[in-house]
A and B are shown apart, each in its own frame.
Chain A
Amino acid sequence: MKRRTFYFSESLETTAAWLMGAIWLMPVLYAFWSAFHPAEYSTHLVLSAPLTLENFYRAWEQAPFVRYFLNTFLLVTIILIAQYILCTLAAYSFARFEFRGKSIIFSIILLQLMIMPEVLLVENYQTIGKLGLSDTITAIGLPYMASAFGIFLLRQTFKTIPTELVEAARVEGVSSVGILLKVYIPLARPTYIAYGLVSISYHWNNFLWPLVITNSVESRPLTVGLAIFGAPESGVDWSIITAATVMTMTPLLAAFLLFQRQFVQSFMRSGIK
């Protein structure tokens, strides 16, 4: 009797997992189908439909995707580098040094975790305007650089590093900065990788803020470019839209498939889920 319920709940879980996977996969599969077939087959699923790359040529010509790719690439790179530097320094001071107001400052940073970035859209827009940075790639990245999540995550990781290692380094005559560079950062590598992946995929896909703050081809990232490209006023052509979508998501998808194992491992090791 007990065995049977066990089997039942297990098969239920498996079915649910497959179902959710299928629901997630469907739009992706559709995008690939529609992108590689002529427009008349985009809602007409016939296996014998001819394959074509025509949609990609047309999408590529109709919008400055090279520029968009470059913008997105610059954006995620700038954000990631800034986040790594800022969060590392902040996390190091929170993890290892005692200073006045430490716990208050840290709780303010935690508070930031609970605020949806969208709430601050208007406020951020005004600030960026005052700085005279609107419609630049820096402006898209600026609100995200001092990431509360990153600080918190790295602080937690730094705290797990045995004090003996730090003391050993101190006895060997290594300075505070040296300890950060030679002990903390190398030992927190899995966390850096996992955080980097989260950051890259978040900012690669981020849409609302870049849409608000950019208004020229020179600063627009892929997501905004794609949305303008697919807006109803420019006419809905599913084949071309899906082709453009496939183009924009391919780099991320490829990266995920390539580094799948490292992804999962570093997430497990750094305890993010």
Chain B
Amino acid sequence: MSKLFVKHLSKSWGDTEVLHDISFNCKQGSLLVLLGPSGCGKSTTLRLIAGLEDPSQGSIMMDEKEITHLVPGKRGIAMVFQNYALFPHLSVVENILFGLKARKIKKDEQQKRLKYAASVLGLSDLLDRRPSQLSGGQRQRVALGRAIVYQSSICLMDEPLSNLDAKLRQEMRQEIRSLQQRLGITMIYVTHDQTEAMTMADQIILMKDGEIEQIGTPEELYKTPATAYSGNFIGTPPMNILRPDQKILSAFESRKMDQELLSKIEKQCLIGVRPEHIQLDETGIPATINTIEYLGSETLIACQIENQPILFTTPNKLNMAPGGAIKIGWGVKNLHVFDAKSGKRDDSVYHQLLN
């Protein structure tokens, strides 16, 4: 059952349109991530859903009710902000109960929900402190607490982890995800960090320049990126997008490929291959090493074929110096083929390649 429908949503500031015709829906109890680089319109989309901005066009429906122009307080949403937005003059308790007091919910009900949220989030010992006496992770929990006690039908998160250090971010990531699943919260989560999106989401919406690039599960985004951009954005290190010149095509020639198909690929396509799918291969394409980064569990090698940079990982330590010559190869089935002009995935060429 879908909780939230966003239909043909657009937003302009003066003459510049920052959001073009966005449509998607979000299922009850699922975690939807809006992912994209800064300025792609993901935060604007979230603010439109929250009612903090007014859309230029389109509609938002929640539980089969139109909420497009409703004031934020009447939408039944909770929101967690990037800087937590805790009131510095109020204690943790007062911050958590702020919304319930404003909505005139009964005192004993307030206390019940407070107790529950505090125990779920492990805040019971911190209730009398001020936000300035809390660490970043604790502030984050208080902000979450404020969202939980409202028991809203939907919770919006605007880059909630971007102010935390790497280790804490990973902890909070797991914590938020498990909390969301345990309490069955419907959550829309905005981030620019693809790791967060991949690890937490039920559904990812990848955005670029105010438009949706791809909607799918993390697995779909990883395995079948709809565009070259999407392939490049998901995964660390990112997917290599290559112009198939003669040298790269020579890798396919050994497979006795149809010349017509090869020339079509050369002229009209881009090929994508993930770093983890490239290996050192004695029969492969010669490349020159630029840098070698030893990471322990794997080694990250940046090299180039002619003047096209390629990044790949290998599980073994490579005892070579930058400038050295290697040969690399990849399985054809791990290739992704994109149209050179539109950047769209072209599976017909891919299947022809496989046969």
Q: Which residues of A contact B (CB under 8 A)?
A: 162, 164-165, 167-175, 178, 182-183, 186-187, 189
Q: Which residues of A contact B77 (CB under 8 A)?
A: 171
Interface presence of B79 (CB below 8 A): yes
Q: Which residues of A contact B98 (CB under 8 A)?
A: 169, 172, 182
Q: Which of B81, B88, B102 contacts A187 (CB 8 A)?
A: B88
Q: Which residues of B contact A178 (CB under 8 A)?
A: 102
Q: Whose C-beta in chain A lies nearest to the C-beta of B77?
A: A171
Whether A173 contacts B52 by the Cβ 8 Å rule is no
Whether A162 contacts B73 by the Cβ 8 Å rule is no
Whether B85 contacts A173 by the Cβ 8 Å rule is no
Chain B interfacial residues counted at CB < 8 A: 23
Interface presence of B341 (CB below 8 A): no
Interface presence of B87 (CB below 8 A): yes
Q: Which residues of A contact B146 (CB under 8 A)?
A: 168, 172
7 A–B pairs (Cβ distance < 8 Å), ordered by A: A168-B81, A168-B87, A170-B73, A171-B52, A171-B78, A172-B102, A187-B89
Which of B71, B87, B88 has the most A CB atoms < 10 Å from its CB? Answer: B87
Q: Which residues of B contact A175 (CB under 8 A)?
A: 73
Whether B87 contacts A164 by the Cβ 8 Å rule is no
Q: Whose C-beta in chain A lies nearest to the C-beta of B73?
A: A173
Whether B50 contacts A171 by the Cβ 8 Å rule is yes
Whether A164 contacts B73 by the Cβ 8 Å rule is no
Output the least CB separation between A200 and chain B (Å).
24
Whether B88 contacts A170 by the Cβ 8 Å rule is no
Q: Which of A168, A174, A182, A186 contacts B85 (CB 8 A)?
A: A168
- Tell me the complex Cα distance, A164–B52, Å: 10
- Tell me the complex Cα distance, A167–B72, Å: 9
Q: Which residues of A contact B87 (CB under 8 A)?
A: 165, 168, 183, 186-187
Q: Which residues of B contact A167 (CB under 8 A)?
A: 50, 52, 72, 79, 81, 85
Output the least CB separation between A162 and chain B (Å).
7
Q: Which residues of B contact A173 (CB under 8 A)?
A: 72-74, 99, 102-103
Given contacts A171-B72, A172-B102, contact A164 B78 (CB under 8 A): no
8 Å CB contacts to A: which residues of B42-91? 50-52, 71-74, 77-79, 81-83, 85, 87-89
Given contacts A173-B99, A173-B102, A178-B102, contact A162 B85 (CB under 8 A): yes
Q: Which of A164, A171, A186, A189 contacts B82 (CB 8 A)?
A: A164
Q: Which residues of B contact A164 (CB under 8 A)?
A: 81-83, 85
- Tell me the complex Cα distance, A27–B81, Å: 57
Given contacts A186-B89, A187-B88, contact A172 B99 (CB under 8 A): yes
Output the least CB separation between B63 and chain A (Å).
17
Nearest first, the 4 A-B pairs at minimum CB distance are A173-B73, A172-B99, A168-B85, A164-B85
Q: Which residues of A contact B102 (CB under 8 A)?
A: 169, 172-174, 178, 182
- Tell me the complex Cα distance, A186–B146, Å: 20
Whether B103 contacts A171 by the Cβ 8 Å rule is no
Q: Which of B72, B78, B89 contacts A170 (CB 8 A)?
A: B72
Whether A172 contacts B103 by the Cβ 8 Å rule is yes
Output the least CB separation between B190 and chain A (Å).
14
- Tell me the complex Cα distance, A175–B98, Å: 13
Whether A170 contacts B52 by the Cβ 8 Å rule is yes
